[in-house]
Amino acid sequence: MRPDLRDPRLALLSLAMLSLIAAFLAPKIAVRRPSFDLLAVVDITGSMNVRDYSAGGRPISRLDAVKAALRALLAELPCPSHVGLGIFSERKTFLLFEPIDVCVDFAPLEASIEALDWRMAWEGDSRVSAGLFSAIDMARQLKSDLLFFTDGQEAPPLPARGAPTFDGRAGELRGLLVGVGGYELSPIPKFDDRGREIGFLGVEEVPHESRFGLPPEGAERREGYNARNAPFGAAAAVGVEHLSSVKEDYLRSLAEKTGLAYAHLEDGKRLWTDYAAVAAARMREAAFDLSPFFGAAAALFTFFAAAGPSLALALVQLRRAAPFNRHPQPGRSK
Amino acid sequence: MTALGFDHIEALFLAPLAMIPFLRSVLRDTPIPSLLSAPADSLSALVANILKLSGVIAIGASLFGAAGPHIAGAEQERFAEGAQLVMLIDRSGSMNETFAGRTPSGGEESKAAAAKRILKRFVEARRHDLVGVAAFSTAPMLVTPITDHIDATQAAIDAIDRPGLDYTNIARGLAMALSMFKTSDADLSRAVLLISDGAGVIDPKLRDDLKAEFRKTNVSLYWLFLRTEGSRGIADRAAEDDESPQAAPERHLDLFFRSLGVPYRAFEVESAEATEEALKQIDRLERHPVLYVEKMPRTDLSAWAFALAFVATSLLVVAKLAQVGLGVEGRAR
């Protein structure tokens, strides 16, 4: 008798062989996968040294919390995303390097983030809105999204008329304005000129009011007010500018003005979900190797060629054994 | 190192499926009253075992191949000519002017743009260097650590022609550059390449610290001085024999560098071409054997696994085609 060519097991084995040939040829298809380009700009001004985050039960500074979150974000980004790094101090954003491939150049990228330090700041001022606007400009040139990390503490304080106006187009750039810091006021560490920590800023060491421009409304009721000689009143203003918390209302208003989204910094996971919600995904071609699927398919075909008849038999017996099927009552089914 | 790695380890979770040929055959069952009616036959037993084994191999090797097995590429240490370099780049505002001291207009190139173009080519040509980038204005900034990732270095150099910051504080910048070298690499050839368009007065308090640090790390120093036309040069003395560092900072910085006791050279350049020429000289000077790690490409084993699975499956198919029944009663199920 000739071999039975209609045996399904022969067909399964032939399929297995075809799958293996396909796997051996290692076919690749080009798939378009989303990836992200972003510029991370980190505020490195003095208030970022405030230790109001904690890691492993130890208080860590806002800057350290930003670094940890950025590192976690890098690990989440799909290949081949690109990340650039900038720092903000005074009123400018300073680009350290243009976006580089997160996957290929992970080690130097991580080391550069780790090296961020308040000592890199070229001036002590912290004009957040001006820094943000220059960062937006820079990110637009680099064609990336923007992640701007700041606690929103303007130093010196904003003049009475409020923050400068944004003259770009709101919403042109996608990105996140990340508010860093706790909601409670905390003292700001102070350093001597060799970089050693020497306590905290005192109430008399920082200006509490901007005396540029026009005085605020109601200044004429202040003690010692004189329209020409003392338009802000005679006494120096005393406030809480020597303490710091995240200025969320201010940052939200900046975010609204510029069309960025606002998020509070919690941890890397939250940062990634917050960023992914607003990010501009860039579709890039990537080769996708199909051979693992063909290999697994071949294994399953051969498996069913051996086990198929027994499985089929077992299935039939199971059905026969099932009490419901033994006395089918079609008339009663709804 | 010859560690076996897998891209899709999940596929191996199906490995128990490979045991099925021991329990079930791919061949058709033949009803026969008793096995005792056939004589014991060692050849048949051998064939049966080979077929079982083929089944196991067919499933197992397919899954093994699907898991993407590979031997990780070994890291081989090799010697090449090169150096460990830290590029310490002046990012003060004046770097954005041309060599003539003007704001660039038309086809003119700023000092920073010229430095960027030339440094990028320099890095590109010296593939075996380990390069780090630091920037300084009033404060020093670590941009990228000493690394063999050329793309990261290029990206850092790409950023140097953006608007600069305030002033030039060379001392802190040098301290930052020296701190980037690891003390464990002291026997390698190491150099700081200082690129600036001006000098500054080094704080006398920092002079001794810097000198000690240079001697300790034994890092050679190249100063690429991008001189603006008409400004003071390294050799120029101040008028009226005023010998204070404030009056002629370039000359005094040069004197200070000479006193460091480490290999030092200054290149005073006034144009992009001269900058290129200076870098060519540095390129020749900094050619020492350096140890670098070359990653060998990994060896992919999946093709071998698929080939083995194919042979085993073919055997099963051949057995299947060769199977004949005992007669009319041997009906296929």
Instruction: Please give the angle made by the CA atoms of A150, A154 and A159, to the nearest 5 degrees.
Output: 150
Q: Which has more confidence, B254 or A239?
A: B254
Among B261, B137, B141, smallest CA distance to B207 is for: B261
Q: State mean pLDDT over A163-178.
A: 82
| In-domain check, residue A129 | yes
Pairing of strands A197-200, A243-244: unpaired
Q: Which has more confidence, A306 or A175?
A: A175
Same domain, B108 and B210: yes
Q: How far apart are CA B19 and CA B13, in angstroms?
A: 13
- Given an 8 Å threshold on Cβ–Cβ distance, is A292 in contact with B332? no
**Amino acid letter, residue A69:** A
In this structure, what CATH number is given to the domain that contains residue A81?
Answer: 3.40.50.410
Same domain, A97 and A151: yes
A181-201 in b/e burial notation, b at 16+ Cβ within 10 A? Answer: bbeeebebbbeeeeeeeeeeb
Domain range for A52 = 31-206+241-287
Q: How far apart are CA B84 and CA A205, in angstroms?
A: 44
- Given an 8 Å threshold on Cβ–Cβ distance, is A10 in contact with B317? yes
Q: What is the model's pLDDT at position B155?
A: 92
Chain A contact set for B320 (CB, 8 A): 3, 7, 9-10, 13
Model confidence pLDDT, tens digit, residues B34-64? 767 777 778 888 888 888 888 888 888 888 8
Tell me how many domains chain B contains. 2
Q: How far apart are CA B201 and CA B48, in angstroms?
A: 90
Same domain, B106 and B137: yes
> Chain B closest CA to A112's CA: distance in Å?
5
- Computed from CA positions of residues A95, A98, A99, A102, in that sequence, does the dihedral angle turn out positive or negative? negative
| In-domain check, residue A234 | no
Domain boundary, last residue among A287, A306, A323: A287
Same domain, A274 and A301: no
| In-domain check, residue A55 | yes
Residue B116 token pair? 């960027």
- Given an 8 Å threshold on Cβ–Cβ distance, is A24 in contact with B307? yes
Is the separation of the CB atoms in A232 and A215 below 8 Å? yes
Same domain, A302 and A319: yes
Q: Is the pLDDT of residue A292 over 80?
A: yes
Is the separation of the CB atoms in A114 and A135 below 8 Å? no
- Given an 8 Å threshold on Cβ–Cβ distance, is B320 in contact with A9? yes
Q: Could you give the ipTM of this predicted complex?
A: 0.73
Model confidence pLDDT, tens digit, residues A63-92? 999 999 999 998 888 878 899 999 988 888
Same domain, A84 and A17: no
Low pLDDT (below 50) residues in chain B: 1, 328-333
Same domain, A52 and A197: yes
| In-domain check, residue B333 | no
> Chain A closest CA to B235's CA: distance in Å?
30
Helix axes B204-217, B170-179, angle to 10 degrees: 30
- Given an 8 Å threshold on Cβ–Cβ distance, is A295 in contact with B11? yes
Chain A contact set for B67 (CB, 8 A): 292, 295
Same domain, B40 and B128: no
Model confidence pLDDT, tens digit, residues A49-65? 888 888 888 999 999 99
Tell me how many domains chain A contains. 2
| In-domain check, residue A218 | no
Q: What is the model's pLDDT at position B101?
A: 74
Q: How far apart are CA A324 and CA A249, in angstroms?
A: 66
Domain range for B17 = 4-72+297-322
Q: What is the model's pLDDT at position B160?
A: 86
Of residues B302, B321, B333, nearest to A291 (C-beta) = B302
Same domain, B205 and B244: yes
What's A309's DSSP letter?
Answer: H
Q: Which of B120, B151, B306 to mutate to test binding with chain A, by most A CBs within 10 Å of its CB?
A: B306
Among A247, A250, A245, A212, smallest CA distance to A231 is for: A212
H or E element in which residue A55 lies = strand A53-55
Q: How many helices (H) and strands (E) does chain A have?
A: 8, 14
Of residues B26, B68, B323, nearest to A305 (C-beta) = B26
